[in-house]
Structure 1
C-alpha cells in the first residue's frame, strides 16, 4: 500500500496534475506522475490523517508550458529533478521540483525586481477633490483606508482575499497575544462588550502620544499584564494599530515590562502595519539575539505575504531554515496563501513539504485550497478538498464556510450556497449574531433580497459597525440604492468619530452602480469631515470612471492621487482595471506606462499583468520585441495562455509561407 497522506496527494492531484496532463508530451516527468493515476484504488495513511480508498482523477485546467533549459535538455526551469518520493509497494514515483526542494525546505524566486524610469506624462482633468489640501492623517486612518503595508493584499483576482486577511489577523492575535481558542469563542459570543478603564482611556486620548496618559493612569494602580494584553487585543481588532504600537513602546520602557519574544513579535507586526515593512525589517535586526526566535520571523513573513512580496517572503523562509527553526503549519499556510496569489503551481510543493515535516493541515490550509479551486471555477475539485477535510476529522469554521458559500454562489450553485448559509446561521440567529455581516453579502450575491431584509432587520436594533458595512454593500449589490443610503445615514448618526472606511463603503456602492454625481457629493462630504482619501477610495473612483467609459479620466485620477500622497500605494486591482481597458483598445503606449507604474509601486511580476500587456500587442496587431526576455528576467515562465499569446506577438515566428521560402 502507498503510505501517502490523502490530503497531500489530493492537493498534488487537483493542483498540479490536471494542468500538466493536457500537454504531457512537453514534460519529461509526466510518465512518472501518471503512474499515480494508474493506481486505481488504495488506502492512504499518514500520521494523524487516515482516509479510505481514494482514486486519482485528472480534470481539465489551464496548462503550464515551461521553457526548457538548454543547458540541461532533460530538465525544466521550474521542474528540476532533485529527488524522488518513491513507494516500494506500488512502484509509483513522484518527482519533486528542485526549486522547492522538500529535502532542504528551500523556496526560490527572482520575481519582484523593480523597474526604474517612471514616465511622468501630464494627464488631463484630474479629479478636483483629490487636489484639496491634505488633511492630517492619523495612523488609524491610514491603516483603515489603505496603508501601503495593510492594503496591498487586496487583489482583483479574488473577492475572498479579505477573508484570508481576516483569518490571518485572527491567527496573529492568538499567536502574539496568547489568546486561547476558548477565550476567542467566548469573546465572539458576547452580545455586548464593556471596555476596561484602560481601553476607554486610550480610545479617548486624542493627543499625538498616549504615554503621558498611561503614566498618570498607573500612578495609583497596580500594573496588570493580562489587562494590558486584553487592551492590545481590542485595539488590534478595532484596527487601531497606531495606538497599539504606542502602548507597546510605552510597555517596553517600563522597568517591570519583562519583554518576551512574543512581545517583540507583536511589535514587529505593528511596525509593519503602521510604519512599513522596511522599518519592521530594521527593527527585527535590532531585537536582542536571544529574543529573535521563530515567532518573530514568522510574524515578519506573514506581513511579507500580506503585501504579496514573493521574493522577500521566500528569502525570509530560507533564512528561517538556515537558522534551524522548525517548519510550522502557520509558516506553511503563509506560503500557501502567497502562492495562491502569485504562482499556484507551487502550492503542491508546499503540500509535499508539509507531508515530509508531518504537519497536520489546519482549517486555514483547507480554506486556501478550496479558495484556489473555487477561483479557477473547479467546483468538483473544491468539493474533493471538502470531502478530504471531513474525512480527516477537521471541522470547518465560519470563515471556511463563507469561502465555500461564495464560490457556490459565483458558480451559480444557488441551492448549495443556501444550504451552507443555513448551516452557518444555525437554528437561531440570536445564538450567532456575529454571523450577520458574513452572510449578508453572500445572500446579496445570490440575489436573495428577502433574506437580506430578514437579516438586516434582525441586526438593526443593535447593529455593530460590521453589520452597517455589510448591509450597505448588500443593498448596493441588489441595486436598492435608497435603502443603502438610509443605512449609511443611520451609521453616520450612530458613530461620532468617522473614518475613511465609513464613507468608502458607500462610495463603492455608487461606483458599482455608475453614479458619478453621487460619488462626487460623497467625496466632498468625506473631505469636509476631515477623512483622508486613500487607496480604497481611489480604486472605487477608477472603476467608476472606467465603467462609464472615461479611461483617460480614470488614469488621471490615479496619477494625481499618487502624486498627492506618495506614501500610500494604490491597490493592485486599481492598476489592472486601467491596464485591462488599454489592452482592449490596443493602446500599447499607455498599457506599457501602467505596466511600469505597477512595477514601480512594488508589485511583483505576475502572469496576469503580462497577459493584459500581451493582449494589448495582439489587439494592436504589432510585435512585442523582447517580451520573452522581460519575462525571463522576472523569473516568470509562461503557462499555456501566455505561450499562445507569445506566439502571436513574436516578430520572428515561422509561418507556412516563411518555411517554404527558407
Structure 2
C-alpha cells in the first residue's frame, strides 16, 4: 500500500490521527481482523482511545457484535479513557441487534461518570419509539432537558412521528406547535420548514402544509422536494404537479432524484397511467435512471396491482445492470405484493432473490414471508428454525402471529 511505503521510507511522521485514518482504511478495505493486526504495529503511545474507537466504529458499521464487544472490552481492560462517543457506538449497535444490552452500557456510563450527549439521547428516543414505549420517550426527553440539552429539529421530528405512530395525535401536534414557535428564531429555517411540511402532511392538515409552504419565499430544490412529498402524502396530486412544474422551470438542472420524487407520488396514489406518462417524459428529457427510479416504478406497479409486471421488470434491470444492485425496498415491495395475495411460492422466490442480491436476513423479510403463509392459511412449519439459521431474532409480532397460525 502507498501509505505503508511512505511509512517504511520515513516520508511521513505519523501522529495520532494519521494512525487512526490508516487503521480506518485497512478496516474498510481489508476487514476488521487485518485492522486488529495493524494495531499491534502502532507505537504504544498512539494505541489510545482514538485508535480503538476507529476500530469500534468499523465493527459497528459491519454489524459485527462479537468483534465490537471484543474491542470494547479491550478499551476497558487497557484502562483507556471511556468517552461518550465510544459508548454511543455500542448503544447504536445494541439498538439494532440486542436492545436488552443498552441498559448495561448506560449503567457503565453512570458508573464511569460519562455524561450522555445529544446523540445518546436521540439513540434512546429512537429505541423507545421503535418498541412503542411512548412513556419512555417522555422520560428520556425530560432527562435531556434537565441536562441542558435542547432537542434539535431532527429530534422533535422523530418524537412527533413516534407519537403519531402510537396514536397520540394531540401530543404530536403540541411538538409541531413548539417547532413553529422555534421557526421564528431558528438559524436553519429551511430545515424546520421541511420538517413541518412533512409532519403536517402526516397529520393530514393540507391547509397547514399550504401555509408553511408560503413561508418558503425563495425555495431551493430540496425545499421543492419536501413540498412535493408532502402533497403526495396528502393525495393532493394537482398541487404536487404544480410544485414540480415550478421547480422544473427554475434555472437549476434537475437530477433523477427530483423526477423520482414525483414518480413516487404517482406510485403512492396508485396512478399507473400518470406514472407511465411521467416515465416517458423522463426518457424524453434524458433523465438518467438507476436503482431509485427502478424502486419507484416497482412501487408504482405493485400498488396498482401489477405485481408480476413489477417482478419481471426488477429481474430485467438486475440482469442488464450487474454492477448496480436494486434497493432493498424494491424487493420489499414485491414480497409485500405477493404476501398480500397469499402467494407463498412467489414470496419465497423473492425472499431467495433478496439473499442472492447480498442483503442480509432481517426480521422484515420473515414478517412478510409469514404473512404469505397466514394469508394462504398454510402452517409455517420450522419458521423459527429458519430464522435462527439466518441469525435473525424474531420480533414480538412474528412470535404472536406464529402462535395464532
Fold shared, TM-score > 0.5 on shorter chain: yes
Q: Deviations over 1:247-301 (max 9, x none)?
A: xxxxxxxx999886547767998x89xxx95578799688984678655664575
Aligned counterpart, 2:5? none
Aligned counterpart, 1:534? 290
**Correspondent of 1:417 among 172, 182, 192:** 172
Q: Deviations over 1:463-517 (max 9, x none)?
A: 2332121111112122222222222223233353432212222222121111223
Following the alignment from structure 1 to structure 2, what is the Cα–Cα distance between the partners of residues 440 and 412? 20
**Aligned partners of 1:618 and 1:648 also within 8 Å:** no
Aligned counterpart, 2:204? 447
**Correspondent of 2:348 among 570, 573, 592:** 592
Structure 1 residue 442 displacement after superposition:
0.7
Aligned counterpart, 2:369? 613
Following the alignment from structure 2 to structure 1, what is the Cα–Cα distance between the partners of residues 118 and 228? 30
Structure 1 residue 403 displacement after superposition:
1.0
Following the alignment from structure 1 to structure 2, what is the Cα–Cα distance between the partners of residues 582 and 622? 15
**Correspondent of 1:504 among 237, 260, 270:** 260
Structure 2 residue 303 is the aligned partner of structure 1 residue 547:
yes
Structure 2 residue 135 is the aligned partner of structure 1 residue 380:
yes
**Correspondent of 2:222 among 454, 466, 478:** 466
Greater relative contact order (CA < 8 Å, ≥ 6 in sequence): 1
Instruction: Report the CA distance shift for 1:360/1:527 in structure 2 as closer, same or farther (over 3 A).
Output: farther
Instruction: Report the CA distance shift for 1:394/1:497 in structure 2 as closer, same or farther (over 3 A).
Output: same
Aligned counterpart, 1:337? 92
Following the alignment from structure 1 to structure 2, what is the Cα–Cα distance between the partners of residues 514 and 350? 46
Q: Deviations over 1:545-599 (max 9, x none)?
A: 2211122222223322322333333333332332233233332222222222223
SS of 1:447's equivalent in the other structure is coil
Worse-matched range after superposition: 547-556 or 427-436: 427-436
Task: Give the number of the structure whose alpha-carbon radius of gyration is greater.
Answer: 1
TM-score (norm. length: structure 2): 0.79
Aligned counterpart, 1:371? 126
SS of 2:325's equivalent in the other structure is coil
**Aligned partners of 1:406 and 1:417 also within 8 Å:** yes
SS of 1:549's equivalent in the other structure is coil
**Correspondent of 2:63 among 282, 291, 310:** 310
Aligned counterpart, 1:351? 106
Q: Deviations over 1:289-322 (max 9, x none)?
A: 467865566457557756xx423x6524523643
Following the alignment from structure 1 to structure 2, what is the Cα–Cα distance between the partners of residues 519 and 300? 46
Following the alignment from structure 2 to structure 1, what is the Cα–Cα distance between the partners of residues 285 and 38? 40
**Aligned partners of 2:339 and 2:372 also within 8 Å:** yes
**Aligned partners of 1:369 and 1:385 also within 8 Å:** yes
Following the alignment from structure 1 to structure 2, what is the Cα–Cα distance between the partners of residues 299 and 528? 47
SS of 2:115's equivalent in the other structure is coil
For structure 2, list consecutive stretches of 5 or more residues without a partner in the other structure. Answer: 1-9
Q: Deviations over 1:330-351 (max 9, x none)?
A: 2333343344444434433443
Instruction: Report the CA distance shift for 1:615/1:449 in structure 2 as closer, same or farther (over 3 A).
Output: closer
**Aligned partners of 1:405 and 1:417 also within 8 Å:** yes
**Correspondent of 1:436 among 183, 193, 196:** 193
**Aligned partners of 2:32 and 2:58 also within 8 Å:** no
Following the alignment from structure 1 to structure 2, what is the Cα–Cα distance between the partners of residues 264 and 510? 50
How many residue pairs end up in the alignment? 388
CA-atom RMSD in angstroms: 3.8
Aligned counterpart, 2:360? 604
Following the alignment from structure 1 to structure 2, what is the Cα–Cα distance between the partners of residues 485 and 280? 47
Worse-matched range after superposition: 471-480 or 598-607: 598-607
Worse-matched range after superposition: 527-536 or 589-598: 527-536
Q: Deviations over 1:187-240 (max 9, x none)?
A: xxxxxxxxxxxxxxxxxxxxxxxxxxxxxxxxxxxxxxxxxxxxxxxxxxxxxx
SS of 2:353's equivalent in the other structure is helix
Instruction: Report the CA distance shift for 1:574/1:258 in structure 2 as closer, same or farther (over 3 A).
Output: farther
